[in-house]
Structure 1
Amino acid sequence: MNEDQTPFGEESIFYEYAAPPQLAPEEIDPASNLTDGAAGLPEGGVPDLPSPLVGYESPPVLETLADQMNIAFGIDVASIVGMLLKIILIIAATYLAAKMVNRALKIKLPEMMGGRKTGIDAETEQTFRLLVSRLLVAAIYAIGFLLVVFQIPGLSNIAVTLLAGAGVAAIAVSFAAQDSISNVISGIFLAVFHPFRVGDRIDFNGDYGHVEDLTLRHTTILTWDGRRVFVPNSIMSNQAIVNWTITDPIITWTVDVGIAYDADIDKARDIMLEVAKRHPLVLKNRDIEVRVTELGDFAVNMRLLYEIPNRGIAFATHCEIREAVKKRFDKEGIEIPFPYRNLIIQTPEGSKLCPSSGEAADVGSSGASGGEPGTSGGGPPSGDRL
């Protein structure tokens, strides 16, 4: 076969879709479906033709770029953008829900209660509200985190696998975070059994202060000198705590004063009682007493006992009463003695320190053999006892 007579495979397409010859106007059938001069073709063109042949518009640049990335790297840009938008919406919704719950329990709920009694005191109610709000906020954030994880295909599969082995994972997590879990459980127990409440004044580990906050992990104590001590809840639940305001804030406080042995005890007692009764913070309708607590080495120790409204003013009241008692004792001639001791020196009779003739011995003279002063013949000094 001649080379020129060999049919070209691709030309058959053009032969098949070649436009018919132009017809004269009188030869055109008005009832035929010919439009836009495409004689013999159906309306809308041939659907199987490539877009360059039928004159379709080119696709947008973004779609082309997305298609190219999908073909080259296997990255579905549209699904990734949708996933990111969902994650952002979940994070925003989680944050807003946590803020709303926290505000509702801390501010709106007390406003709705309007000071009505709930059967428990205000400090216990505040402690419960704080702990419940933190538990709910933690649960909301945990749910939001899980929703974010399940939006990511790779992480969702891992999460399902972990949930399938939740027993083993729970054991591993419990060993790794046993301190944190212990603090959370201890915080719940502290809120339920309330050995202290938010606002209570306590003595803990040698420090005095009031409980400022109770979280799921730790308890915040504001000490009298302005220090904030953060104590893990597990330690707070295992240590001895002195709570000054758990039921009755009124406390008994003391002032200890020592007087000389030759001083008048009754007069000193009257002065101490008078000073205490004149102090504005001492409760006059409660017992005020003075007791002799000890016969010490150099003083008779007396203790003034009085009651004040709360532990917060105990230190200032104690200092003011002690100063007033000291001034009154000085004015009335009652001695507050210094520590002193009597030294008794005993020497054997006939020694140079105490000769039998009654004459004073020359302690500073040297011995006959030129020994040290106070010795005899260079020997050791006489045996003195203190």
Structure 2
Amino acid sequence: MLRRFALLLTLLPSTPVLAQEEGGSALRGQLPAFLLHRPLWEVELWQALGLGLVLAGSVLVGRLMEGLLLRLGVRAAGLTQSGWDDQLVTAGRGPLRYPIFAVLVASGSRLLGLPAQVQHVVDVMARSIVIISLAWFLMSFLRLAARFVEQKVNRTTATGAEVGRIRGLRTQLVVMRHIIEVAVVLVAASLLLLQFEAVRNVGVSLLASAGIAGLVLGLAAQKSISTLLAGIQLSITQPIRIGDTVIVEGEWGWVEEITLTYVVVKVWDLRRLVVPMTHFLEKPFQNWSKVSPDILGTAEVFVDFRTNVAAVRAELHRILQQESQGLWDGKVHGLQVTECTERTMKLRALVSASDAGKAFDLRCLVREKLMLFLQGQPHGLPLLRAEASHLAPAAEPVLPLGLNAVAPGRMAAPARPAGSSD
């Protein structure tokens, strides 16, 4: 099919406007002799000057025709209420000018009776410009369509499971746009290369030896092909979607961008984690918003054994109703004693939020407010207990006969016999 389209493009600018024979131009016989000099590539001087005039005139006429067509398009788009056609006219600015220029150059150059080799070069350049312009317009149209659909999706107010459906639609749209863009680039590159006889011969040779060459090319492109297939599989199965909250490689963040080969995760501290597409199909990871963005969060505090748990539970309810700053979604709240050690009790506050970011902020808020409340309670914060022993004081030691009690560190003098004098 590509070869048929390339053949069509080859025949399009090759349709003769005037019969070309050796020296064949109706203007040649009416020119002075010095203009018939051939300075380069068998091109006469008047032909070179004429080709320059054709190029300049084609640029000027192309811009004028583009402006006229765009102005007509803007007026036609103004008759409708949708903004789609206005953006489509804007997307045509640029890609519309160059095909007009290429067609004018291919047609005008035939009036000059250029040599076959030079005319072939001009035709190849004109066809290449047409192919590149068509690919450019298709790429602009795809981006425009994706942007238009994404704007419609962003204007849709959704909650709960509908948010997941909208994220899935955005993910499929982005991945399919990348796939079509790759296909457009490959087709355009193939059409450009098929204009050359050497490339066509190489293609025929590859088809003739498809066994070994296909095996070698398949092994060489195995990694790239597997990555592209992983991107297509991800768009269908959707283990992740744009906007999902995930934990990958120990990092917590949001899926910011999905391409055919990698996924960009925006980490909570604004770093970007670039993960290969195959990672999400081969290794486990956490997706906190796969079904719904709603999530539960916990805040744990350590208290004394004599703490009034019912009072702490009532304080938690008051905090959520009066001081949650809109972070609590009003669905789930609770307080439980989850652990007792030899010194403290551990209380766990369970709260709910509409997404992971709000859940984290709500957990920090609840922990701070509960600690402030416990500081004002007489038996709120944990205490370090020690048992005090009430023992009688030790009796003075009984010394042997003849020894006197002395202060520590001094030697006692021996007792003197009775009746002795100093």
* TM-score, structure 1 normalization: 0.64
The equivalent position to 1:103 in structure 2, one of 127, 138, 144, is 144
Q: Is the 8 A contact 1:102 1:137 kept in 2?
A: no
Q: Which has the higher contact order (CA 8 A, sep 6+)?
A: 2
1:30-73: per-residue Cα shift (whole Å, max 9, x none)?
Answer: xxxxxxxxxxxxxxxxxxxxxxxxx996484574522289xxxx
Q: Is the 8 A contact 1:218 1:233 kept in 2?
A: yes
- Return the alpha-carbon distance in structure 1 between the equivalents of residues 133 and 190 of structure 2: 14
Q: Which residue of 1 aligns with 2:370?
A: 325
Q: Structure 2: state its 5+ residue gaps.
A: 1-29, 45-115, 388-393, 398-407, 410-422
Task: Note if 1:219 corresponds to 2:263.
Answer: yes
Please tell me the residue identity of whatever aligns with 1:296: T
- Return the alpha-carbon distance in structure 2 between the equivalents of residues 135 and 126 of structure 1: 14
Q: Is the 8 A contact 2:328 2:362 kept in 1?
A: no
Deviation at 1:87, TM superposition (A): 2.2
Q: How does 1:180-259 map to 2 (within 5 A)?
A: 180-259=224-303
Q: Is the 8 A contact 1:105 1:133 kept in 2?
A: yes
Please tell me the residue identity of whatever aligns with 1:329: L
Q: Is the 8 A contact 2:330 2:352 kept in 1?
A: no
- Return the alpha-carbon distance in structure 2 between the equivalents of residues 56 and 194 of structure 1: 71
Deviation at 1:76, TM superposition (A): 3.3
User: How many aligned positions are there?
Assistant: 290
Distance 1:87 1:341, change over 3 A: farther
Q: Which residue of 1 aligns with 2:59?
A: none
Please tell me the residue identity of whatever aligns with 2:369: A
Please tell me the residue identity of whatever aligns with 1:67: E
Q: Is the 8 A contact 1:277 1:284 kept in 2?
A: no
Q: Secondary structure at the match of 2:348?
A: strand
Deviation at 1:256, TM superposition (A): 0.4
Deviation at 1:149, TM superposition (A): 0.8
Q: How does 1:24-35 map to 2 (within 5 A)?
A: none
Deviation at 1:282, TM superposition (A): 5.4
Q: How does 1:84-233 map to 2 (within 5 A)?
A: 84-107=125-148, 121-233=165-277
Please tell me the residue identity of whatever aligns with 2:281: S
Distance 1:329 1:62, change over 3 A: farther
CA RMSD of aligned residues (A): 3.8
Q: Secondary structure at the match of 1:303?
A: strand
Q: Secondary structure at the match of 2:326?
A: coil
Q: Which has the higher helix share?
A: 2
Task: Note if 1:314 corresponds to 2:355.
Answer: no
- Return the alpha-carbon distance in structure 2 between the equivalents of residues 324 and 302 of structure 1: 14
Q: Is the 8 A contact 2:239 2:280 kept in 1?
A: no
Task: Note if 1:66 corresponds to 2:41.
Answer: yes
Q: Is the 8 A contact 1:281 1:317 kept in 2?
A: no
Q: Secondary structure at the match of 1:281?
A: coil
Q: Is the 8 A contact 2:297 2:360 kept in 1?
A: no
- Return the alpha-carbon distance in structure 1 between the equivalents of residues 194 and 396 of structure 2: 109
- Return the alpha-carbon distance in structure 2 between the equivalents of residues 108 and 323 of structure 1: 43
Please tell me the residue identity of whatever aligns with 1:286: K
Deviation at 1:89, TM superposition (A): 2.9
1:279-298: per-residue Cα shift (whole Å, max 9, x none)?
Answer: 24354743421111111243
Please tell me the residue identity of whatever aligns with 2:340: L
Deviation at 1:115, TM superposition (A): 6.3
1:104-125: per-residue Cα shift (whole Å, max 9, x none)?
Answer: 243269669x9699x9922221
Task: Note if 1:276 corresponds to 2:315.
Answer: no
Q: How does 1:2-81 map to 2 (within 5 A)?
A: 58=33, 60=35, 63=38, 65-67=40-42, 76-81=117-122
Q: Secondary structure at the match of 2:331?
A: coil
Q: Which is greater in Rg?
A: 1
Distance 1:67 1:285, change over 3 A: closer
1:243-294: per-residue Cα shift (whole Å, max 9, x none)?
Answer: 2323322211110001123434444443344333432435474342111111
Distance 1:282 1:136, change over 3 A: closer
Q: Which residue of 1 aligns with 2:346?
A: 301
Q: Secondary structure at the match of 1:208?
A: strand
Deviation at 1:357, TM superposition (A): 8.2
- Return the alpha-carbon distance in structure 2 between the equivalents of residues 116 and 208 of structure 1: 26
1:8-49: per-residue Cα shift (whole Å, max 9, x none)?
Answer: xxxxxxxxxxxxxxxxxxxxxxxxxxxxxxxxxxxxxxxxxx
- Return the alpha-carbon distance in structure 2 between the equivalents of residues 61 and 131 of structure 1: 58
Q: Which residue of 2 aligns with 1:12?
A: none
Q: Which residue of 2 aligns with 1:362?
A: none
Q: Structure 1: state its 5+ residue gaps.
A: 1-54, 70-74, 344-355, 360-364, 367-386
Distance 1:108 1:167, change over 3 A: farther
Please tell me the residue identity of whatever aligns with 1:307: S
Q: Is the 8 A contact 1:106 1:129 kept in 2?
A: no
Q: Which residue of 1 aligns with 2:415?
A: none
